Amino acid sequence: MSGADGVPGRRRALRPFEESAALIPQDESADESGATSHDSQHVRPPLSQAARPAARPANRPPSIPAGPVLLPPGERPAARPPGARRADRPTLVGPAAADAPAGRRVAATPARPVERPALRANPPAPADADPPASPAPDPAERAAANRAARQAAARPHATGARRIAEPTPQPVARKAPRPAPEKTSSLSRHALTVVWVVLLAAATAGVALARASADLPDLIRQVSAGTISVGLAWGLAVRTGGRPIWAAVLTAGLAVGAFVSGSEEWLAGASVGTGVMAATLAVMATVPAATFRLAIREVVVATLIAWVGAAGVLGYGPDAHPRVDADKLGYVVLGLALAGAFALVYRLGAGLHGLGRRGYVVAGTAVVMLALAMAYSEAIAQWGSRDLVNVVDDVRDSLRDTLGAVPHPIVALLGYPALVWGVFMRARRRQGWWVCAFGVAATAPTATRLVASDLSVQSVALGAVYSFVVGIALGYLVIRAEQLLTGTHGRRARRDEEAVAHRPEPGRTEPLH
């Protein structure tokens, strides 16, 4: 079967560009004879009058026929020879050699790259060129800017606020230098403390000499006892943040009135007040102790202050042993000292809500022990059977004959352990003040210990030493038990815990508030 141009071969389908060329409308322009250029090859059959389309408007462009329009055979493209493909033809890059022999493949000359001038993003403008005109501002933006300027001028504080609100460079944070302590105040406080200690020591020695020698005038005993009372009132007022001058003046007036009047009630009241101030100041003068060794030091300080108060209580009696009931005096001093200590500790220990569950247990146990000890001893003495009283007296006499003295039960079992544990706890948390308050159970009996008429000075001293040793041992056991419960096991763990236990508190001679 032959193609349109007479070349034998298979009939092929038209390519897309050939189809588009075949759809090109025929030239309808007629020549002078009225026939088109293709009338001789392709003549449309005449249409009837009814089948003819309506006349086309003059300004309407010619429309494309609905069906495909076939090109005349002469204008159709020639058929491709069989087996010849465009991909099989060699493509020569570069000029072909004119003198290349037929049938010989000639190597193509590599094409040279076309050199183009480099393009610049912003080519320099010529010197004589006019500067580019800035775009005209938007009328709406210009109106908004003018309105903002008028508002800022009407409210000058807004501009100032904006200037203040602008971020400023933050200075480098540096550690503020610690203010230098005032040398004058520190020296005066130190000198006043030294004078206070010397006066108390001299007054204690005066009372001891007056009781030991009957040849000394009685005025030395009275002045020494009054000096001890005034010194204790001054120290307690300074430590608790009160008015030391007024406290000292009031105490001095009461002491002078008691000695001038010579009334036993006034003298008993002055001795009770001296014992209460000594017992309370002995506890308030302690400082936190991070280690057990420091806790022992604080107990020694409290005991010394209590013994100074004992000398003052003894100085208010005209005889070697005042004519008062030692048991009742001890109970009154202990009760008032506990009340005063609890009133002061209520502010230092953050109130009752700062106790916690453990604090409530400790405080309740201490109160129960104190109440039972006092009630039991008094009940045995008053209402106990003769056999039970004889057994207790026999045990006491045997211990006194063997050891030379008997330790005080309340002091050894409650007072000193509470004081040791309290100062040790205060180095960790301020709730330790509540435990320290029960240390009055050791300082109050000590302040009234010299009033007992049935005990010698040697027996009182040995009893105080035994009570101190037993109380310190029990305090050590309580501290170790607390450390075991809180998870501090081993010597190294205890040392690490003691190294960081430094809760700040004012110094010994500074007010606590």
H/E/C letters for each residue in 58-69?
A: CCCCCCCCCCCC
Residue 433 reports pLDDT greater than 80? yes
Spatial distance between the Cα atoms of 349 and 434, rounded to a whole number of angstroms: 6
Q: Give the Cα-Cα-Cα angle 468, 472, 474 (nearest 5 degrees).
A: 120
Residue 379 reports pLDDT greater than 50? yes
**340, burial (CB in 10 Å: exposed 0-12, middle 13-18, buried 19+):** buried
Q: What confidence tier does 30 reach under pLDDT thresholds 50, 70, 90?
A: very low
Q: Between 57 and 369, whose confidence is greater?
A: 369
Spatial distance between the Cα atoms of 400 and 125, rounded to a whole number of angstroms: 121
349 neighbors 431 (Cβ within 8 angstroms):
yes
Write down the pLDDT at residue 29.
Answer: 43
Which of 160-169, 372-381, 500-509 is predicted with the least confidence, judged by mean pLDDT? 160-169
Residue 478 reports pLDDT greater than 80? yes
Q: Between 141 and 9, whose confidence is greater?
A: 141
Q: Residue 377: which H helix or E strand, with range?
A: helix 356-383
Spatial distance between the Cα atoms of 207 and 312, rounded to a whole number of angstroms: 7
Q: What confidence tier does 33 reach under pLDDT thresholds 50, 70, 90?
A: very low
The tokens 């409210």 sit on which residue? 155
Write down the pLDDT at residue 467.
Answer: 92
Q: Compute the average pLDDT of residues 328-346.
A: 90
> Which amino acid does the sequence have at 269?
G
Residue 510 reports pLDDT greater than 50? yes
Spatial distance between the Cα atoms of 277 and 271, rounded to a whole number of angstroms: 10
| Coil, helix or strand at residue 223 | helix
Sign of the dihedral through C-alpha 445, 450, 451, 454: positive
Q: How many CB atoms are located within 10 Å of the residue 297 CB?
A: 14
Q: Compute the average pLDDT of residues 233-254.
A: 93
Q: How many CB atoms are located within 10 Å of the residue 139 CB?
A: 8
Q: Which two tokens stand for residue 400?
A: 């006194």
> Which amino acid does the sequence have at 152?
A
Spatial distance between the Cα atoms of 475 and 366, rounded to a whole number of angstroms: 13
Residue 364 reports pLDDT greater than 50? yes
Which of 32-41, 130-139, 173-182, 381-390 is predicted with the least confidence, judged by mean pLDDT? 32-41
Q: Compute the average pLDDT of residues 298-323.
A: 86
Percent over 70 (pLDDT), the chain: 60
Top mean pLDDT of 36-40, 164-168, 333-337, 342-346 is at 333-337
Percent over 90 (pLDDT), the chain: 25
> Whole-number mean pLDDT of the chain?
74
Instruction: Kindly state the DSSP code that residue 2 receives in the 8-state scheme.
Output: B
Beta strands in 340-497 (DSSP E): none
Q: Compute the average pLDDT of residues 386-402.
A: 77
Residue 209 reports pLDDT greater than 80? yes
Q: Between 45 and 79, whose confidence is greater?
A: 79
Q: What confidence tier does 85 reach under pLDDT thresholds 50, 70, 90?
A: low
Which of 97-106, 131-140, 400-409, 479-488 is predicted with the least confidence, judged by mean pLDDT? 97-106
Top mean pLDDT of 40-54, 160-174, 483-497 is at 483-497
Query: How far from the centroid of its chain's Cα atoms is residue 488's Cα?
Result: 24
431 neighbors 355 (Cβ within 8 angstroms):
yes
410 neighbors 441 (Cβ within 8 angstroms):
yes
Query: How far from the centroid of its chain's Cα atoms is residue 355's Cα?
Result: 22
Residue 345 reports pLDDT greater than 90? no
450 neighbors 460 (Cβ within 8 angstroms):
yes
Q: Between 284 and 161, whose confidence is greater?
A: 284
Q: Compute the average pLDDT of residues 194-214.
A: 90
Q: What confidence tier does 285 reach under pLDDT thresholds 50, 70, 90?
A: very high
Residue 71 reports pLDDT greater than 70? no
Query: Between the CA of residue 339 and those of 50, 104, 280, 333, 344, what are the distances in Å?
Result: 134, 130, 10, 10, 9
Q: What confidence tier does 287 reach under pLDDT thresholds 50, 70, 90?
A: very high
Q: State pTM to two decimals.
A: 0.62
